[in-house]
């Protein structure tokens, strides 16, 4: 919740003259080495309190624009609010689709007529969707504005589309939704909310218009470097893969929930484990990055059975990322009736912490744990764990036990300086269903990830995707260089980004693919990263970028 002063500033997009005077004094102190909070406290407001960081960020940009101050990346880093949001190298913008029927009948899933299936109106991301009546343009526009107001770069956007089962929405709605997101990212400077390209009703998109806005985004001020949707395993088919690539999708989140057919059936999930296995293999064969959702404490599960189930994730499925979403008992889910009859018993917070602290250290080094709890406000939870800070609780328990996690997130270099000459090139090889995977990474002397590439070498019996671009090709499914997100073309001493690591990773991928008998490589490029690959020898195919390596 913003304070009244924040509300006033956000509403007017201006800074009071007296605030500007204080901001200059505070930034002088910070440049001289004084800690940010100490500098703020040295110059209190006349009516009490202190300037917010959001004012410092706005004052910084105003001073740079007026020529009063030279751009100073280090100063901006120190005053930026919540820098962790962009320390992974990109800026994530989350948008929600409108309420729409879901093919699933899962007993644990909440139902609220105001929201897409499985979402609640008081979840942070969902609140923003509801506030803008699920309009994609307005959601993207307002989120970019908010991030810029907090001092974050916004030229590299990972677009995360949430809301039930994406594949169940009408395709004309999907195309319109994505195109409107691109319209917002293509704005050269963001106007006041609601202005700009005007209102475009659902389905108001001409043939070829999506391709046109995608082409514009290749050199737009807010380039799309990743497009993520969420769906169900039973929606993944070769035809769906082609459609997702048409939209520009590069990463797919799927609700596996459990890898135990008995548990899936008890919870009315509507698909079996083999369906999840088939969908994961198809996505991998098409080069998509794969995120699986896993839910402990489903009806019929125990902490012991969940530990066994978690281990199945790494037997062929081998997701690139996972979200651990402990089942939470909500009054507007069918599971509530099971609880009332005494048939379902939620785990306690202590049980969940013990379970996750047990399984987290077993996650392979190629996988990233994105979440360990959903952002469902505790007031919605009827019984069981109500703590949303479960990740911190788990880390504290692991520290007490003397165990560590080596997942991608835990090893990201984040804001640390990187000395390129000290980096070690590592190639972690593992077997997934129908593919040999290579997790090629640059690692610091203290085992932190500066960057990585996911190379997939499909086996001869890999699932047929029907995508001609991929015939006989090795697949680059992801290239990611870590550190604070920097503007396109910007450089910073000691930063992992823009240190040439991506190019070196691509060269290593070529060598590995060639040594395994492949004569070409395909990359599943996001729209906004096409130019990066084209500058490195790739050429445009129908839905992928391709390069011969003979």
- Helices (H) and strands (E) counted in the chain, each on its own, are 19, 14
Q: What is residue 548's predicted lDDT score, i.e. its pLDDT?
A: 97
Cβ-based neighbour number of residue 74 at 10 Å: 10
Q: Which residues contact 207 (CB under 8 A, 6 or more apart)?
A: none
Q: Are residues 284 and 425 in the same domain?
A: no
Q: What is residue 196's predicted lDDT score, i.e. its pLDDT?
A: 46
Q: Are residues 435 and 490 in the same domain?
A: yes
Across-strand partners of 461?
A: none
Radius of gyration of the chain (CA): 24
Q: Are residues 15 and 34 in the same domain?
A: yes
**End position of a domain, from candidates 79, 102, 131:** 79
Q: Are residues 217 and 269 in the same domain?
A: no
Q: Are residues 154 and 303 in the same domain?
A: no
Q: Are residues 291 and 434 in the same domain?
A: no
**End position of a domain, from candidates 171, 197, 231:** 231
Q: Which residues contact 64 (CB under 8 A, 6 or more apart)?
A: 70, 71
Query: 239: helix, coil or strand?
Result: helix
Q: Are residues 368 and 431 in the same domain?
A: no
Asked whether the beta carbons of 241 and 248 are under 8 A apart, the reply is no
Q: Are residues 122 and 164 in the same domain?
A: yes
Q: Are residues 270 and 406 in the same domain?
A: yes
Give the total number of structural domains in the chain.
4
Q: Are residues 451 and 469 in the same domain?
A: yes
Geometric angle at alpha carbon 120, from 119 and 122, rounded to 5°: 135
Give the separation between CA 308 and CA 313, rounded to whole angstroms.
10
Label the pairing between strands 520-523 and 545-548.
antiparallel
Q: Is the Cα torsion angle 49, 122, 195, 228 positive or negative in sign?
A: positive
Q: What is residue 34's predicted lDDT score, i.e. its pLDDT?
A: 83
The pTM (predicted TM-score) of the whole model is 0.85
> What's the start-to-end Cα distance of the chain, in Å?
57
Give the separation between CA 392 and CA 371, rounded to whole angstroms.
11
Geometric angle at alpha carbon 136, from 131 and 137, rounded to 5°: 100
Across-strand partners of 231?
A: 254
Q: Are residues 302 and 362 in the same domain?
A: yes
Q: What does each C-alpha distance from 531 to 17, 282, 439, 542 come to in angstroms?
A: 43, 27, 23, 15
CATH of residue 275's domain is 3.30.750.200
Give the separation between CA 506 and CA 425, rounded to whole angstroms.
12
pLDDT in tens, the chain (550 residues): 444 344 444 444 567 788 888 888 888 888 888 888 888 888 888 777 778 777 788 788 788 888 888 888 778 777 765 544 444 568 899 999 999 988 899 999 998 889 988 898 888 778 889 989 999 999 999 999 888 877 778 889 999 999 889 999 999 999 999 999 999 999 865 444 444 444 456 766 777 899 999 999 999 999 999 999 999 999 999 999 999 999 999 999 999 999 999 999 999 999 999 999 999 999 999 999 999 999 999 999 999 999 999 999 999 999 999 999 999 999 999 999 999 999 999 999 999 999 999 999 999 999 999 999 988 888 999 999 999 889 999 999 999 999 999 999 999 997 778 888 999 999 999 999 999 999 999 999 999 999 999 999 999 999 999 999 999 999 999 999 986 444 444 444 445 444 699 999 999 999 999 999 999 999 999 999 999 999 999 999 999 999 999 8
Domain assignment of residue 464, given as a range: 420-548
**End position of a domain, from candidates 411, 440, 463:** 411
Determine phi and psi for 251, rounding to 5 degrees. -135, 140
Give the containing element (helix H, strand E) for 79. helix 73-79
Q: Are residues 68 and 143 in the same domain?
A: no
């Amino acid at each position: 919740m913003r304070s009244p002063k924040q509300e006033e500033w956000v509403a007017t997009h201006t800074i009071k003259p007296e605030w500007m005077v204080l901001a200059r004094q505070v930034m002088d102190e910070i440049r001289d080495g004084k800690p940010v909070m100490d500098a703020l406290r040295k110059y209190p407001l006349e009516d009490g309190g202190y300037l917010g960081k959001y004012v410092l960020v706005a004052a910084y940009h105003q001073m740079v624009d007026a020529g009063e101050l030279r751009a100073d990346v280090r100063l901006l880093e120190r005053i930026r609010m919540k820098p962790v949001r962009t320390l992974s190298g990109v800026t994530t913008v989350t948008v929600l689709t409108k309420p729409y029927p879901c093919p699933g009948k899962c007993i644990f899933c909440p139902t609220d007529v105001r929201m897409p299936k499985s979402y609640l109106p008081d979840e942070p991301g969902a609140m923003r969707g509801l506030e803008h009546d699920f309009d994609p343009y307005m959601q993207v526009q307002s989120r970019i504005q908010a991030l810029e107001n907090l001092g974050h770069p916004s030229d590299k956007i990972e677009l995360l589309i949430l809301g039930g089962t994406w594949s169940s929405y009408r395709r004309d709605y999907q195309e319109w939704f994505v195109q409107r997101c691109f319209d917002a990212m293509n704005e050269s400077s963001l106007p006041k909310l609601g202005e700009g390209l005007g209102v475009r009703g659902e389905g108001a998109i001409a043939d070829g218009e999506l391709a046109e806005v995608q082409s514009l985004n290749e050199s737009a001020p807010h380039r799309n470097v990743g497009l993520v949707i969420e769906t169900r395993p039973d929606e993944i088919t070769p035809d769906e893969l082609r459609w997702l690539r048409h939209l520009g999708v590069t990463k797919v989140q799927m609700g596996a929930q459990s890898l135990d057919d008995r548990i899936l059936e008890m919870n009315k999930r509507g698909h079996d484990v083999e369906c999840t296995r088939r969908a994961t293999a198809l996505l991998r064969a098409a080069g998509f990055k794969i995120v699986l959702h896993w839910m402990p404490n489903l009806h019929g599960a125990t902490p012991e059975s969940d530990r066994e189930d978690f281990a199945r994730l790494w037997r062929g499925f081998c997701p690139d990322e996972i979200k651990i979403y402990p089942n939470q008992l909500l009054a507007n889910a069918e599971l509530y009736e099971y609880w009332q009859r005494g048939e379902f018993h939620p785990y306690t917070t202590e049980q969940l912490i013990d379970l996750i602290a047990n399984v987290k250290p077993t996650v392979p080094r190629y996988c990233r744990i994105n979440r360990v709890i959903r952002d469902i406000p505790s007031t919605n939870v009827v019984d069981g764990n109500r703590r949303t800070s479960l990740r911190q609780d788990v880390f504290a328990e692991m520290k007490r036990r003397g165990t560590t996690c080596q997942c991608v997130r835990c090893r990201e270099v984040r804001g640390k300086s990187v000395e390129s000459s000290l980096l070690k090139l590592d190639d972690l090889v593992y077997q997934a269903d129908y593919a040999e995977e290579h997790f090629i990474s640059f690692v610091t002397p203290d085992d932190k990830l500066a960057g990585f590439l996911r190379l997939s070498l499909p086996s001869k019996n890999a699932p047929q995707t029907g995508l001609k671009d991929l015939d006989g090709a090795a697949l680059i499914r992801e290239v990611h260089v870590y550190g604070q997100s920097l503007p396109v073309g910007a450089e910073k001493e000691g930063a992992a980004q823009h240190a040439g690591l991506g190019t070196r990773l691509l060269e290593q991928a070529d060598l590995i693919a060639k040594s395994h008998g492949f004569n070409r490589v395909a990359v599943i490029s996001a729209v906004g990263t096409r130019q990066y690959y084209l500058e490195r020898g790739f050429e445009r195919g129908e839905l992928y970028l391709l390069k011969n390596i003979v």
